[in-house]
Amino acid sequence: MKVVNVTRPGGPEALETGAAPDPTPGPREVIIAVEAAGVNRADLLQRAGHYPPPPGAPPWPGLEAAGTITALGTEVGAAARGPADDAVAGWAVGDRVCALLPGGGYAERVAVDASLVLPMPAGTDAVGAAGLVEAACTVVSNLDAAGAHPGETLLVHGGSGGVGSLAIQYATALGMRVLATAGGPERAARCVELGAEAGLDHRGDWAARVKERGGADVILDVAGAANLDANLRSLRTGGRLVVIGLQRGTRGEIDLGRLLSRRLTLLGTTLRSRPLAERAAIVAAVRERVWPLVPGRVSPVIHATVPLERAADAHRLLDSGEVFGKVVLTVGAPDGADAS
């Protein structure tokens, strides 16, 4: 099958189309014929050599994909269903699905543990589904980790990103009040269209704007060190800052006095490094809590689709800072001719 792999770590040109053996399903896996694969910032890090895939995952990038199930492992599916293992049961060849992947989405086919598979949400095609999975899992797991609840104020940094655009919609649907930052007034205004009460230019004094609005109970941050002090100043007493990205720095100074006097919590998380059982629980939560909101209250925000073979262009696009929402790779229907 066709894959797009990293020949040697580097810039977008490091991505090259190549061939790999077709995957065969492990006992608890399904094979998905990929029609669409989301592009994430983690893929850019992996391409640059900073985010190696976990053991057992394919070496090529891709944390989410959507398509059709073409094969089932021996323990998966209606015929194999046991009484005590709903996590991998219920799938059939031909099901239209999407999945959270530990890697390997940049390919015509991918093997994935059946507990990480979801049906495509209602009214959504493969592109939309592939653009939702990773963001939905990220948002749900981190709002849960922060103990976010309706009525609280959420500040979303990178409201124009794939995670941010989903976070605005989902948190608004939950009954949270949402403030969002983005690069420049036009992108900030689009955050308001998605449901945010206010869109703030992250190049301005957004912390002052947040404080004018009473502060935030929860912050979802992708910038890391550059935002750390201003984020802590923006939190209300008892507030929680969840750092899920380090786009603007890793090491920063922290004022623990503020942490104590305001009883603040700082959490850092990544999704891919979690044990399978935790990722499966997150996928189940997304299916239960996000999928019923799609489409309508929550819709994928797709900036562009790019053919798999031009994944390097997709990376350049995401690097440009001009993307609003997701970039999704599209994969030609497999014809078997290129299977090795």
Residues forming the site for a copy of itself (CB under 8 A): 224-225, 228, 237, 243-244, 246, 249-270, 273-274
Phi, psi of 14 (to 5 degrees): -70, -15
Nearer to a copy of itself, 203 or 263 (CB): 263
Nearer to a copy of itself, 15 or 246 (CB): 246
Cβ atoms of 71 and 30 within 8 Å: the answer is yes
Give me the least distance between CB of 167 and a copy of itself, in Å please.
17
Nearer to a copy of itself, 96 or 262 (CB): 262
* H/E segment holding residue 271: none
Give me the least distance between CB of 269 and a copy of itself, in Å please.
5
Nearer to a copy of itself, 264 or 311 (CB): 264
Give me the least distance between CB of 108 and a copy of itself, in Å please.
31
Distances (CA, A) of 153 to 19, 141, 168, 293: 48, 17, 11, 20
Distance CA 211, CA 204 (A): 14
Nearer to a copy of itself, 150 or 268 (CB): 268
Give me the least distance between CB of 8 and a copy of itself, in Å please.
23
* H/E segment holding residue 245: none
Distances (CA, A) of 278 to 110, 146, 160, 286: 21, 16, 27, 12
Give me the least distance between CB of 178 and a copy of itself, in Å please.
23
Phi, psi of 241 (to 5 degrees): -105, 120
Distance CA 118, CA 106 (A): 18
Token representation of residue 294: 């799609």
Give me the least distance between CB of 151 and a copy of itself, in Å please.
17
Other CB atoms within a 10 A radius of the CB of residue 143 amount to 23
Nearer to a copy of itself, 192 or 226 (CB): 226
